[in-house]
Every structure is written in structure tokens, then in C-alpha cells.
Chains A and B, each alone.
Chain A
Amino acid sequence: MKDFKYIGKSVPRIDAADKASGKIKYMSDLNFPGMLFGKILRAKYPHALIKKIDTSQAKALPGVVAVVTWEDVPGLNGFGIVVPDQPVLCEDKVRYIGDAVVAVAAETKEIAEEAIKLITVEYEPLPIVDDPIKATQPDSPKVHTDGNIHLHTKISRGDVKKGFKEADVIVEHTYYTGMQEHVFLETESGVSKLEEDGTLSVYAGSQYPQRDQMQLSRCLALNPRKIHVVSYPVGGAFGGKDELTIQPILGLLALKTKRPVKIVMSREESIISYWKRHPMIMKYKTGVKKDGTLIANEVKIYADTGAYASLGGPVLNLAIEHACGPYKLSNVNIDGYCIYTNNGTSGAFRGFGVPQATFAMETQMDIIAEKLRIDPVELRRKNALRRGDIAPIGNRLTTSVGTVAVLDGIRKTKLWQNREKYLVNDFKKPWIKKGFGIALTYQGTGLGVGLPDYGGAILKFCKNGGFEVGVGLVDYGQGIGTSYAQIAAEAMKCPIDKINVLLGDTDTTADSGPTSASRGVYTGGKAIIIAAERMIKILKSKASEILGVSADNLTASDGCICASNEPEKKVFYEEIASRFMNETCHLPQTEGYFLMPVADIKIKDAFGLPHNIFAFSAHLTLIEVNTLTGQTKVLKGAEVIDAGDVINRQGLEGQSEGGFVMGMGYGLFENMIVEKGIFKTTNFSTYIIPSIEDAPFEIETVTIVNPEETGPYRAKGVAETVMGGTAPAITNAIYNAVGVRIFKIPATSEVVYTLLKEKEKTE
């Protein structure tokens, strides 16, 4: 690592100054001359037939330029990454309270709002499907004509029955996880504009501009080449902008009015309208031998995807892949359902099904450790998957596996070393009880088997001897822009301030797949390295002409090409650039494309499974519970992370701390209440995310040495694993503190208090 100039260092974010100074323009900041304002009429009922839509009064309102319904959608009135089952504008039925029915473009925001009120829609309300398990029954009302089961995935390996017979202890529990909102700072917002040449520009923050372009071309019946999508900069995403949001309606209004149209979601509208983390019900039955060896696991998962599929199927499958944790288990039976209901609509969210399964499995592990009186770290270590092992769903782990290393790394944290001291209760406040908890998690990198998974990068040589890197992925806060600059600077042996990174634009960046699945650094980074190798060859060949030294004897170093054995014989990149310009009026450009390596097998009937590369992390928490109120306070946190080799130390710490706090919100606070399809917590005074006053003062980030040889500079992605284990680490700590087991998150104060009271009654 010490040979590197930028890799592994704490490089300040390349966008920090522009973001801190407010210079950066987000899509919601954009304004164009003659711009109109769009507004969307959403469903009045969570489940209803549309009988009639009357827009005449709205159309007649002065200042209204266009009112559009399903009839105006020129192409397929449907979008969805896997199945396009969500209408751009509903025709005959609404399936959740955020469904879009009519859209308006008007001269001002106020007129648009007024026009929305003048639209009348006649509905015939239908029975609401709000219980995912009941929804699977044949007599349940149907959200979609084909029934409420969007996907059923079943994986069986070994002999579970035999396993349970051999087990000394069987632990059986049902787990519930809540619906979580992404809470990106910038709501779904943007501007669409028809250019003079007929191109439709769509400026809206998202995670994959090229796929947006494809989906938009389908809805709008436009040649994709005539759609220019700009999806960066974006004020946060966390998975919530992977799927389309407002873009098809924006595009439709711009095409209809031939004027720029802007839509900015209010927080309330954003919350009812777009994606959430799937609430899951998970039934676990785990068999274990006396010595702690896991022998059988039977898991049933019900994932509530709400009204539309979006990425619900893949989310379920990822939960299934990770349902048994990173443990050796050869008798497994995992049965999962992804179910349509009228409970909003769920989709991609950091962790993608894994935080749910991790909460369940890591609680099982904690219960087993206690029952068998085995140290929780030791129990996990005993069962830990190692490189070369077969994972529970049947694939062999051929890449780096950090399970044992992160478990051993726990001992390196200050939190572990001092836990006995930290756990001493304040004798003056006997009602405050401290507890310590751990959880282990892992997360597949990339999209999995059977899905096109590639990275692409364009590298342009610039006059100043620097380079422009264009990758279609998006920096939505995780810091890949900076990582790409580091990788490009390192690979090109060029000062980092001469690297200009372009992201998220269908015109200037290469399709590099979605910014999701912890794949950004891995795929984009590899593509940059490939493009850089090609560029170095070109530079060497030109330098060879200039220096009169054979290209084989040249080395790139510190912004110049020099003779390998005569370093003073050199030519700077800038000179090479001017030579190119003088000779051809043109500077070279290279491209790099990289195909993600995939696992050795496909899992039958489980699309996308298995994954090939995994990141691992162990999460530690020190908490205190106020037994009088049930309040849990997280005092300290630590994460031990297997990130391969680290690209940006400071960036990793940011991910780790942010992921920890997001996981804390998931475990303790965030409770999206949906009653009979109606959202009750549509703003931040009712939907409670942790504030900085709730975050622990210290969150340690410890990395272990475990390079991933296939990765860019031996790195792998960690954006999700850093979030996945925090909730169970906290709920396990709550048990450690006060002896109540949490089977349902979030464990709000009232939940913990009620459990404490029940426990008191039974004692």
C-alpha cells in the first residue's frame, strides 16, 4: 500500500468545496427561461377503481398550460426496473395512496396547485390489502389481476428434517422489521426541457441515467438517442432513486407543453409516493449442536412490496441469499414471498433485503449463544464461512472472505478492550442499565448471476496534461467521485488535481450499470484502470517518438513518461498533449469496459443468485436503557470492516459512521406508520430519524487486511454492509442490558418499556 500516492489515503472529497459553499447546483436549483411548474394529483384511496376523470375545470384555469392523464402517455404507460407494472398515470385503477393520476403544468406553482384542486376523479373504492400474509390467501382481494404474489423463491439444500433431528437445541422465532424511508435531503425533483434539435433533456437526480433513458424512451415512445438524462448532482439517494420517480411525468409535460417544466416534491408527497425499505415478516427455525455447530435453518420470508414490483423481487432474493448469515449451514430451507399490497410501494434501499435478514439471523445467533453459554464472538467464529467454503445456498466462495478476520478484529477496537469498564452502571442511577452487543453481517457486491453487470469508463486526455474521467454512475454522497479521481490519478501517475470526474450523464459518461449493490468503486474503478492502461500505452508510444527510447523501456511516473533506466530523460504529459495537438489537432481518448466476475453456479429459480464477491462487517454497540422510560441510548459504536484494500480512508470512515447511524435509526426510531394504506408519518416531526444528539459520540472504524485480488487496487464495496449489522447489534445489547428480546424493530422507547413491563409481570 505504501507505494501508492493516492490509494489508501484520506483524500478530501473532490466535491466538498462546491457543496459546502453552495456553488453546486442540484436539479431542484435549476431554472430556465419560460419554465413551467408541474404538479401531480395522487390517488384519493389506496385501492380503488377509477370511474371517471374530469379535468375540464383545471384546463380552463388561466395560467394552466397542460393537464395530462393516461391518455396522453405516448408509449407504454408503465415503468419498473424488472416488470413495468407501475403506470406513469393511472388509467382504471389506483393501487396505493401515492399513485399518480393526473399531472398539470402551469405558469406558477400556485396555479398548478390550484388546478390540481379543480380536477375531479370518480372512484369506486376497493377492499384494502394491507396484511401481506393474508394477501397470499386465494380469497384475498387482488392488487394486480395476476394475484398478490409477485415472486415466490424457494431454496432447499441438504436435509432440514434430518438436521433438526440431530440438533440439540432448536430456536424458533418470528421477526418483524419496519418500513424505512431513505430521507435523502433532496426530494425527487428536476426539470425537463425540449431542446431545439428535438432532444428531450431530463435533469433529475437518479442512480442510473442510461436505464432512466431506456425506461423513458419506452414510456414516451421516443428514440433513446433523443433523450438526454442528467442524473448528477443528486442530493442523496440511498437506493430510493434507483427506480424512476418523477421523470416520466416531467418528460411527458415537457413534450406536451414544449416548454421547460420543473417539479419539486414536497417532503410529504415524496414520502407517500416513492420507494421504501420492504417491511418483512421472517419466521426462523434454527437447529444447533451442543458445541455450537449450526446444523439446520428453516426460514420463511414475507416481503411486503406494496403496490408495484420495482425491485421487490431482487430484494427478496438478496434477503434469501443472506438469510443464514455468513455461516456454514448445509441443511437449509428458505421459502420467500414478495407480496403486493396497498401499503405504499417499496423498492431499493441500502442493504436491499439484507438488513432485515441480518436482524433476524443475528438475533437467532445471540439467543443460541446464550442458550449454549458460548461467547457470542466464538459462536460466530466457529460457524464462520471461510474462503473455499460452500455458502448456505450452495455456491462456493472463491473470492476474499473476511468473516473470521472481522470477528478477530473485534478485539482491536477500543470498545471491546474497554467494555468491562464501560459496562459499569452508575450506582446513583440504578434504573439506567448498560449493555453490549455485537452482530455480524455481509453483503454481496454487484448484481449477481444472470444480470448484465459491467463497468464502463471514458478517459479523455486534456490539454493541461490531465484527464477527464466519465463514468455513468452517480456520487450521491458515498464518495465514488473522489474514489474515481484517486484511482484515475494513481493509474495515470498524474496529480489528482488534474483529474476531472464526470458522472451520471447519458451524453458524456459511459454506461456503467446502476449505482447500487455496493458496486460503484468495484466496477467503475476497474473500468477506469483498463481505460488508463490503454491511455498509458498511447502516451508511451508518443513519448517514445519524442524521447527516442523504445516504449518498452518507458515508465509513467509523476505526470511524465520517462526512460526506465534514465529517469531524467522524460517528457511531461502536458508536452505530450501539445505534441498531439500540433500534429493532429486532437487528443486521444480511451475507454475501459469491465465485466463483473460471477459465481460458479446459478441457483435454480432464484434470479440473480448467487453473488461472487462479498464485503463483511462486525458491528459493536454499547448502549444504555432507561428502565423507567424504555429509552435506549447508544453510547458507543464500532465497526470492523472487510473492505478489501481501502481506497479512501476518510471516505470509508464516513460510510461507516453514516451507515451505523442509519442502522441505528432502523433499529430504534424509524417507524413509517401505514394504516389501511394511509401514511400517518409523512414528515419529520412524526417519522423520527436520529439526530446528531442521538448518535454516539464515538463510532470507531477498524479495517482488517484482506485484499480482494479481483478489485480495483484490491478494493471491494462497503456502502451497504456498514449499515446492515447495527440494528441487531443494538437489540442484542438491549437484551444484554435488561433481558428483553426484541423481535420487532424499531425498538422504540414504548416498545422496550412495554416488554420490560411484561417481563416484570411474569417474574
Chain B
Amino acid sequence: MKALNYLRADTIDNALQYLDEFKQDIRILAGGTDLVVRLKQDMIKENNILDISRIKELNGIFRKNGTIHVLPLTTHTDILESEVIEKYAFILREACATIGSPQIRNRGTLGGNIANASPAGDSISALFVQTAKLKLKSINSERVVSIEEFFTGPGKTILEPNELLVDIFMPELEENEIGFFKKLGQRNALAIAVLNVAVKMRRSETGTNTFDRAVVAFGAVAPTVVRGRRVEKAIVSSSLDSPEQIHYIAKLSFREVSPISDIRASLKYRQDMSINLLYEGLLGLSANDWKRKA
């Protein structure tokens, strides 16, 4: 492992100054669950490490005007232990519960999971369907982007070198909104997703098996997490009355994904799993009369 220059910021402003000063040659340390591994593998080209883990302003979960704010240094464990999240952002909660192990969830942060921009990042698919927005701040500007706009490729985002992710927020889930996060890994813990899928649907007030809104996202099947718009349209425009109908809709996933073959799974298996994981999730909801909890 090479020698590095370690910097620590205690406030957002402090961090933004460092970022502005070192620009391309600085790497942010939040929870370190990914960065430290890469450092040991000599995979980090930057020479400066900016430790933001002690910035208090970047840590916390709160509700404000129908919006849930999860600040970027919030750990996955914090998310799992939050009643607010359980009630108003339960899809995110389900996703965070599948990340790593208790040790990793204790250190890993939501902001880190996003900024890492892994196409298999488990929280990201959930944030897609919860239509999260991100606030990005630099020393002289501030902007808000939707989570979908943020990613440009594996490990690549629109974040400028002098910008910091300072807030993650999303609308509270409504009473009539249901959904799920499902992950297929090679084992039940400490697994990188072979594939994951997140779904949010709003029950329509008219029919029993009908929905007036649906958002679907797939992870680990494309260079970034992707939306399943054809699936969404099909959910909204039909009635999910039978397993056959649900399977018919799930099969549309095939057209949404562009997976690759790698050490974890083949392209073909991932294609089929994008269908079957969605199918299984929808069947599960259906068997539960489209209610949130079993």
C-alpha cells in the first residue's frame, strides 16, 4: 500500500475547501468499507484522502414537509434502526438489510454506497424507486439532481471533483404505496448482488388488483442501475389478477436489462433472473393481498 496524505474535515465548509484545493487528487473517506479494501489492493490513484466521517452535519435521518432526509453519513445500521425509515421508506430499509454483514452495515454509509456508483449497489435500486434526490454542494455552488441522473457508468457519476454529496431526500411513502426490494446473491450474507430489483406501486382507489403508479429498478444488470419503464407501464395499464398476468408483465424485464457474464453469473442467468426475481416479488405481494406486511 502506498503512502497517502490524510486530511480530516470537521465541517461541510471545511471539506469543500479541501475538495476545491486538491480537485482531482483527493478521495473521500466516509465509512471506508470499500475504499480501505481498494487502498490495500493499490487501486486508488489519488494521493490525498479526505476523511469526512466526523462531520456531524452530514449525519442523521429526519422528516420535513412530507420528505424524508437521510444524510449521507447515515450508516446502514442507522437506517435499519430508524422507525421513520421503517414507516416511510421501507423499500430502502429492505435494501440496506441485505448489504454486507452487521460489521459492514455498522460502518458503511448511504452516501458512500451512492458515490461508489456500483451498478450492484443495493441501496441504489431502492432509492431509484423511492424517487430520491441528491443535493450536491461545492465551495461556490449547490445543485439538486434526481438519483437517476447521478450515475453515468460503473463507478462513474456526474459529481464534480470539487463537489460533495450533502443530502439524500425522498418523498414519504404513502399508506397505499407498497413495494419490495429483492436481491439475489451467491449466499445469504456478505454477498455482492448477482442481481437486485426494487419495486414501488401505488394501489389505485378503483380496482383491487390495479395500480396507478409503479416504479421498477434493476441493479447489476447494466452499467448503472436502470429503470424498468416497460414493466412500470404494464403494471399501471393492466390488472394484476393472476399469476399468469403477473408473469406476463415480469417477462417485459427482459427488454430492460443488458447484463454481462462475469465471475458471479452468466448473462443468460441474469436475464432470466431479472424476470423471475420481479415475478417472485410481485407474487409475494399478491399472495399478501397487495398489503405491505405479511
Say yes or no for A631: interface residue by CB 8 A criterion.
yes
* B273 & A629 in contact (Cβ 8 Å cutoff): yes
Stretch in A359-367, A456-464, A691-699 touching the partner: A691-699
CB pair B269–A750 under 8 Å, yes or no, is yes
What is the CA–CA distance of A684 and B100 in the complex, to the nearest angstrom?
12
User: In whole angstroms, how far apart are the Cα atoms of A750 and B184 in the complex?
Assistant: 11
Q: Which of chain B's residues have a CB closer than 8 A to the CB of A400? A: none
Q: Are B188 and A693 in contact (CB under 8 A)?
A: yes
By the criterion CB–CB under 8 Å, are A694 and B187 in contact?
yes
CB distance from B269 to the nearest CB of A (A): 5
Q: Which listed residue (B187, B283, B284, B287) contacts A688, Cβ 8 A? A: B187
A689 to chain B: which residues have CB within 8 Å?
187
Contact A686 B188 (CB under 8 A): no
Minimum distance in angstroms from B101 CB to a CB of chain A: 8
- Distance in Å: Cβ of A401 to nearest Cβ of chain B: 37
* Residue among B187, B190, B265 having the largest count of chain A Cβ atoms under 10 Å: B187
Q: Are B287 and A428 in contact (CB under 8 A)?
A: yes
Q: Known contacts A681-B263, A686-B264, A754-B269; decide if A691 and B187 are in contact (CB<8 Å).
A: yes
Q: Evaluate contact between B192 and A631: CB separation under 8 angstroms.
A: no
A254 to B248, CA, bound (A): 69
Q: Mark B253-282, 1 if CB is under 8 A from A, else 0.
A: 000000000011110010011001101100
Query: Per-position contact with A for B49-88: 1 when CB-CB < 8 Å, else 0?
Result: 0000000000000000000000000000000000000000
Cβ A749 vs Cβ B186 within 8 A: yes
Q: Find chain B residues with CB under 8 A from A626 CB.
A: 280
- Chain B residues lying within 8 Å of A428, measured Cβ to Cβ, are 287
> Is A690 within 8 A of B280, CB to CB?
no
Interface residues on A, range: 20 to 34
Q: Taking the complex as formed, is B145 at the interface, i.e. its CB lies under 8 A from any CB of chain A? A: no
Which of B184, B191, B269, B283 contacts A431 (CB under 8 A)? B283
- Chain B at the A interface: mostly helix, strand, loop or mixed? loop
- Which B residues are in CB contact (< 8 Å) with A694? 187-189
Q: Is the CB of B269 within 8 A of A753?
A: yes
In the complex, A652→B279 CA distance in Å?
A: 44
Give the nearest-CB partner of B276 in chain A.
A628
| Residue contact A749 to B184, C-beta cutoff 8 Å | yes
Asked if A628 and B263 make an inter-chain contact with CB atoms under 8 angstroms apart, the answer reads no
Q: How far is the CB of A76 from chain B (nearest CB, A)?
A: 36
B1: CB under 8 A from chain A? yes
Closest-by-CB residue of B relative to A754 is B269
A749 CA to B191 CA in the complex, in Å? Answer: 14
Q: Mark A673-685, 1 if CB is under 8 A from B, else 0.
A: 1000000110011
User: Interface code A692-725, partner B: CB below 8 Å = 1, 0 otherwise?
Assistant: 1110000000000000000000000000000000
Q: How far is the CB of A288 from chain B (nearest CB, A)?
A: 36
Measured CB to CB, the closest approach of chain B to A422, in angstroms, equals 20
Q: How far is the CA of A257 from the CA of B192 in the complex (A)?
A: 44
Chain A residues contacting B264 (CB-CB under 8 Å) are 686
* B265, A693: Cβ atoms closer than 8 Å: no
CB–CB A629/B184 < 8 A: yes
Q: Is the beta-carbon distance between A628 and B279 smaller than 8 angstroms? A: yes
Would you give the shortest CB distance from B3 to chain A, in whole angstroms? Answer: 8
Q: From the candidates B192, B280, B284, name the one contacting A629 in the complex (CB within 8 A).
A: B280
Q: Whole-angstrom distance between the alpha carbons of A753 and B188 in the complex?
A: 17
Q: Is the Cβ of A431 less than 8 Å from the Cβ of B186?
A: no
Is A673 within 8 A of B263, CB to CB?
A: yes
Least CB separation from B270: chain A residue: A750
| Cβ-defined partner of B184 (8 Å) among A631, A684, A688, A757 | A631
| 13 sample A-B contacts, Cβ–Cβ < 8 Å, listed by A number | A431-B283, A628-B276, A628-B279, A629-B184, A669-B187, A688-B187, A689-B187, A691-B101, A691-B187, A691-B189, A692-B189, A694-B187, A694-B188
What are the 3 tightest A-B residue pairs by CB atom distance, in nearest-first order?
A693-B188, A628-B276, A693-B189
Given A429-B283, A690-B187, A757-B272, 10 additional A-B pairs, CB 8 A: A429-B284, A628-B279, A629-B280, A669-B186, A688-B186, A691-B190, A693-B188, A693-B189, A749-B194, A753-B269
